Amino acid sequence: MGVVTGSLDGLLNQRFTNAGLVTLTSITDTTTGTQGSNFSLATLNGTINAAVSGNTAVTYVVSAINDATNQITIETFNLGTVTNTATYYVDAYGPTCIILSGVDRTSSAWATPSTFNGNLLALGDSLSTQIGSGLATSVNASDNEVHTLGVPDHFSQAGVSDLLIENTVGAVVIGQLGGGGQESYTQVAGLGPEWRFEGTGDYLSNGHSDFLIENTNGTVFVGQVAGGGVTYTQVAALGPEWSFRETGDFRGDGVSEFLIENTAGAVVLGHRQGSSEFLTQVTSLGPEWKFVGAGNFLHHAEDAFLIENTSGAVVVGEVSGSQTTFTQVAALGPEWKFVETGDFLGDGNTGFLIENTSGVLEVGEVGAGNHTTYAQIGGLGPEWKFVGAGDYTGQGVDSFMIENTNGAVVIGKVVSGQAQYTQVGALGPEWSFHS
């Protein structure tokens, strides 16, 4: 989750160049509708012609931006001819969407959350994407920001979270939940036993979920799923003293970064810029601390990491440059363990899911005063293990995924405060989940 503020120019600058959910590859000439020169930041100066989406018949372009009135003009082309020009008021915007109100709105004032009732356009996968698609989860009327949850693990680029599984002979498979409530599977790669999965995220800044793998020599690759296969990009080489900890948008720039820690406790952030990978030490931790999750727990512009010490203190770490600020948000007894993070309560906030030794499940969310409140949502028997979390159904709310000792794969979704379960598949013991 992330929030971006600033000028509309700056927003589009970041959104399009970071690829987000809209990929901008070139300028569209507003006279002919043909593809012109390659897009560059210098052309993003208040009046631009930026291809948003379309095909050979219909193309949408952003033809003007007005920071003073928070307006954006979109032109519709049909076979090179402008067929419609509409000006929208920008009600809120973030790294994964821009919320636009319809042309029927005459006031330039910012909208309030209560007005987000369906007659809106979310400039995401297409101009007709509705706010309920999972692109936007809430709007803060006091600071005019949209809080967005980028869909995790959307390897198939279908706007929903997928499963990433691997069997004992190295077959790498993507699973996606279909309309009938069952998973369908597609093999996309094969890996040797020298490779292990280290994380998932948009490491290449192209709006697609990738996976991170490392071999026994310390070579680190990003794998991007495309066209039924995987392309690999080497991003780092690490010594045996380093271990991967978490992935998140820790810099608040709409791109996934990874955190690694060495045996001496040095914590380093890795981020990609262009074709280069940069490693920056951001803090150092003692051996009493362990990483337990990542997400936008404090509702700021960037993701944070969650750590817990041997005394049960739960602390959020936020990275700024080469420094980390720590905030204690909770204290837990030894009977509790962290299992997943996500927007399980559907309120637009990242929460953490914890389970105790009796199988009781609770969602914790950090609120006012950095105080954590807990909601008990159910319980599980010892035969169940957690294997992932994400928006598997495309409804803008995260669910958690569990598997039992017989291989039954089940999605748990919080409805009216309680977890409801749906079996979506069954796997043999040769399969392992990666997320």
How far apart are the C-alpha atoms of 8 and 6, rounded to whole Å? 7
In a domain, 288, yes or no: yes
Note whether 77 and 115 are same-domain residues: yes
Reduced to 3 states (helix: H, G, I; strand: E, B; else coil), residue 343 is coil
How far apart are the C-alpha atoms of 420 and 412, rounded to whole Å? 5
Q: At residue 349, does pLDDT exceed 90?
A: no
In a domain, 3, yes or no: no
Q: At residue 44, does pLDDT exceed 50?
A: no
| Kind plus residue range of the DSSP H or E element containing 281 | strand 276-284
Note whether 139 and 167 are same-domain residues: no
Task: Determine how many CB atoms are found less than 10 A away from the CB of residue 21.
Answer: 27
Note whether 221 and 140 are same-domain residues: no
pLDDT at 352 (0 to 100): 96
Task: Determine how many CB atoms are found less than 10 A away from the CB of residue 377.
Answer: 21
CA angle 82, 87, 89 (to 5 degrees): 155
Note whether 332 and 184 are same-domain residues: yes
pLDDT at 114 (0 to 100): 33
In a domain, 152, yes or no: no
What's the one-letter identity of residue 377?
I
The pLDDT tens digits for 117-136 are 222 333 333 333 322 222 33
In a domain, 156, yes or no: no
In a domain, 154, yes or no: no
Q: Are 13 and 44 in contact (CB under 8 A)?
A: yes
pLDDT at 163 (0 to 100): 86
Q: Are 396 and 132 in contact (CB under 8 A)?
A: yes
Note whether 286 and 212 are same-domain residues: yes
Note whether 92 and 220 are same-domain residues: no
Q: At residue 23, does pLDDT exceed 80?
A: no
> Regarding predicted confidence, which is higher, 272 or 40?
272
In a domain, 2, yes or no: no
pLDDT at 402 (0 to 100): 97
Domain boundary pick from 147, 182, 197: 147
Note whether 141 and 206 are same-domain residues: no
Domain boundary pick from 147, 172, 194: 147
Which residues, including other chains, have CB under 8 Å from residue 260's CB and lie 6 or more apart?
238, 242, 243, 244, 245, 267, 268, 270, 279
| Kind plus residue range of the DSSP H or E element containing 12 | helix 8-17
Note whether 261 and 308 are same-domain residues: yes
In a domain, 283, yes or no: yes
Q: At residue 192, does pLDDT exceed 60?
A: yes
Helix then strand then coil, % of the chain, to nearest 5: 5, 55, 40
> Regarding predicted confidence, which is higher, 375 or 153?
375
Q: Are 245 and 267 in contact (CB under 8 A)?
A: yes
In a domain, 427, yes or no: yes
Range of the domain at 26: 8-147
DSSP string across 139-152: EETTTTEEEB-PPT
* pLDDT band of 435, cuts 50, 70, 90: confident
Note whether 206 and 299 are same-domain residues: yes
The count of domains in the chain is: 2
pLDDT at 213 (0 to 100): 97
Domain boundary pick from 91, 118, 147: 147
* pLDDT band of 86, cuts 50, 70, 90: low
CA angle 294, 149, 376 (to 5 degrees): 65
pLDDT at 357 (0 to 100): 98
The pLDDT tens digits for 380-434 are 999 999 999 988 876 667 899 999 999 999 999 999 999 999 999 999 999 999 9
Note whether 143 and 167 are same-domain residues: no
DSSP-derived secondary structure letter, 205: S
Note whether 92 and 140 are same-domain residues: yes
* pLDDT band of 178, cuts 50, 70, 90: low
Q: Is the dihedral of CA 66, 67, 69, 70 positive or negative?
A: positive
> What CATH number did the domain enclosing 287 receive?
2.120.10.10
Phi then psi dihedrals of residue 198, to 5 deg: -125, -10
The pLDDT tens digits for 300-320 are 768 899 999 999 999 999 999
pLDDT at 73 (0 to 100): 62
How far apart are the C-alpha atoms of 308 and 304, rounded to whole Å? 13
Note whether 213 and 241 are same-domain residues: yes
